[in-house]
Amino acid sequence: MKVGILVNPLKNDSLSTLHALRKSLEARGCTTVLDVDAARHAGETGGIPADEFSSSVDVAAVLGGDGTMLNALSKLGNFEKPVAGINIGTLGFLTSCTDDELDVFASAVSENRYMTSVRMLLEATVHRQGRSSESFTALNEITLARGDTGRLVSLRAQVNGELLNDYRADGLIVATPTGSTAYSLSAGGPLIAPSAGVFVITPICPHSLSQRSLVLSDDSTVELSSQDAECGPMIFTVDGRDNIHIEPGDRIEVKKSPRSFLLLRLEGRSFYGALRQKLHWQGV
């Protein structure tokens, strides 16, 4: 078993966690491979680019938190093998275990005692007037929101070529089931089980309280555009990164990606358990 390792160097204790993980994996017969940034963080030469992990490792381990996992999606590229998040701190929605459970993780990986949760990805294509289109992949969500203006903006959403609504709001979120526990939830969107074949449009602070989240089939195509020439450029973001200015006349096409993200889950761990823990649900 070859395990590729990525790490967030800004996390406290990330270096000691990296060393401990390698020691635990190698003690169980696993080979570890560092990406270039992890090798640099460890003070080593070598390492390989994370986007070459697909042909080099069986499992990727990401040391950090949920945000590090989102960044890892971009770094790994077309990687359709299990990805494990090891949270340096408390357990997150995307992480498989914490840094106190490295031996448990290493044993499970070396003995193939784990499950994979298949997560839908979004593919967003930005079409600009007079410029080449750009495509992006999101695990959680894409967002089109107001830029420098301090007031509400006008946005149009279409579904499969049909007008859904013209919104007056701070912005719109299109989220996957995975992203339903992130920004969309903070904006009042619903919780969605990871295996559900849907995604959700959630307005951010809409002018009218009747403008609610809408859950769509994952074979839908959503198109977003700015309808307010006076508000200046809006900001398009993918999983909280890749900030791009969107001008009136530009449009964003969002649909299900042909790729998937395989989230590694240890035995006995589940999305519902994470909900109970993170949202502090308690029985009566």
Rg (CA), the chain: 20
SS3 249: coil
Token digits of residue 75:
């770094």
Q: Is 28 annotated as a binding residue?
A: no
Contact 236, 126 (CB under 8 A): yes
Q: Is 185 annotated as a binding residue?
A: yes
Q: Is 67 annotated as a binding residue?
A: yes
Q: Which residues are catalytic, by number?
A: 66
Measure the CA–CA gap between 212 and 189, rounded to whole angstroms: 8
Helices (H), 77-162: 102-110
Q: Is 250 annotated as a binding residue?
A: no
Q: Is 168 annotated as a binding residue?
A: yes
Q: Is 183 annotated as a binding residue?
A: yes
Residue count of the chain: 284
Measure the CA–CA gap between 233 and 248, rounded to whole angstroms: 7
Contact 76, 51 (CB under 8 A): yes
Token digits of residue 96:
């498989």
Measure the CA–CA gap between 248 and 173, rounded to whole angstroms: 18
Q: Is 186 annotated as a binding residue?
A: yes
Residue 27 parent element (H or E):
helix 14-27
Q: Is 182 annotated as a binding residue?
A: yes
Q: Is 151 annotated as a binding residue?
A: yes
Q: Is 166 annotated as a binding residue?
A: no
Which amino acid belongs to residue 62? Answer: V
Q: Is 212 annotated as a binding residue?
A: no
Measure the CA–CA gap between 76 and 66, rounded to whole angstroms: 15
CA diameter of the chain: 62
Q: Determine the Cα angle at 28 with ends 22 and 31, to 5°.
A: 50
Annotation: binding site for NAD(+):
66-67, 140-141, 151, 168, 170, 181-186
Annotation: binding site:
66-67, 140-141, 151, 168, 170, 181-186
